[in-house]
């Protein structure tokens, strides 16, 4: 019924429009929160991956330096005709034997590694630091060397022109690297073989593995035999 003298008023739904706007705003806000959470998660995952990769690179660098150290040793630093615990001081404290080292060094803490291993960029004999040019995480990577076996060469043939060999020693080189976070730790391992003779490994300087091994008969194991990631 229309009151005489008044025009009919339109039906206005101000309350419903406000409610619909609030619901739409809440839905958009929820979507924004989900997208932000997903982005934060992806950033953290990328940071963890980068940290782990940095630790693995540091461990690999430590293994390489440990291998170079073994191939750079002079022939008279290991007693000839000796098969076990044959290094003279101070090498006898730098090159260990399996019975001396923990069964699972990859799970030992940084304090244990500081006691048993050598820091990358440090001369293990003099203790002097060398510039490595690496930025390798929150802690300097370290390497640990074990002599795990010695094979006498008495039954192996020699080639004319090759250096005579007393035997071949096999070494486990462990490298530990850490990223920026304490949980980002990697441990790599290589097994290398090095022939020992009565001659120096090279005329001068520290030889590379390929150069070192080329001087010996191919009948002898020499160089990196295996590699794996332990942690």
Low-confidence spans in the chain with pLDDT less than 70: 1-14, 41, 46-47, 126-127, 130-138, 155-161, 199-207
Question: Tell me, what's the pLDDT at 163?
Answer: 74
Are the C-beta atoms of residues 173 and 147 closer than 8 Å to each other? Answer: no
**Cross-strand partners of 196:** 167
Question: Tell me, what's the pLDDT at 165?
Answer: 83
- Residue 102 tokens read as 């923990």
Are the C-beta atoms of residues 69 and 207 closer than 8 Å to each other? Answer: no
- Residue 20 tokens read as 């619909």
Question: Tell me, what's the pLDDT at 204?
Answer: 40
Question: Tell me, what's the pLDDT at 128?
Answer: 72
3-state SS of the chain is CCCCCCCCCCCCCHHHHHHHHHHHHHHHHHHHHHHHHHHHHHHHHHHHHHHHHHHHHHHHHHHHHHHHHHHCCCHHHECCCCCCCCECCCHHHCEECCCCCCCCHHHCCHHHHHHHCEECCECCCCCCECCCCCCCCCCCCEEEEEEEEEEECCCCCCCCCCCCCCEEEEEEEEEEEECCCCCCEEEEEEEEEEEECCCCCCCCCCCCHHHHHHCCCCCCCCEEEEEEECC
């Amino acid at each position: 019924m229309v009151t005489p003298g008044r025009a009919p008023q339109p039906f206005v739904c101000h309350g419903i429009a406000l409610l619909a706007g609030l619901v739409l705003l809440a839905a958009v806000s929820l979507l924004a929160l989900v997208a932000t959470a997903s982005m934060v998660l992806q950033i953290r995952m990328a940071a963890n991956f980068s940290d782990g990769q940095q630790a693995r690179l540091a461990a690999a660098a430590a293994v390489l330096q440990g291998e170079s150290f073994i191939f750079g040793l002079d022939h008279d630093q290991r007693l000839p005709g000796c098969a076990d615990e044959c290094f003279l001081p101070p090498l006898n404290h730098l090159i260990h034997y399996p019975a001396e080292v923990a069964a699972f060094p990859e799970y030992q803490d940084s304090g244990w590694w500081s006691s048993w291993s050598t820091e990358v960029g440090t001369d293990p004999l003099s203790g002097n630091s060398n510039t490595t040019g690496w930025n390798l995480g929150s802690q300097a990577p370290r390497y640990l060397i074990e002599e795990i076996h010695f094979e006498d060469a008495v039954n192996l043939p020699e080639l004319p022109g090759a250096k005579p060999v007393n035997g071949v020693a096999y070494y486990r080189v462990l490298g530990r690297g850490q990223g920026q976070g304490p949980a980002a730790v990697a441990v790599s391992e290589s097994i290398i073989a090095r022939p020992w003779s009565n001659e120096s490994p090279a005329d001068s300087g520290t030889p590379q593995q390929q150069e070192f091994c080329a001087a010996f008969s191919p009948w002898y194991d020499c160089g990196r035999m295996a590699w794996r990631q332990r942690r």
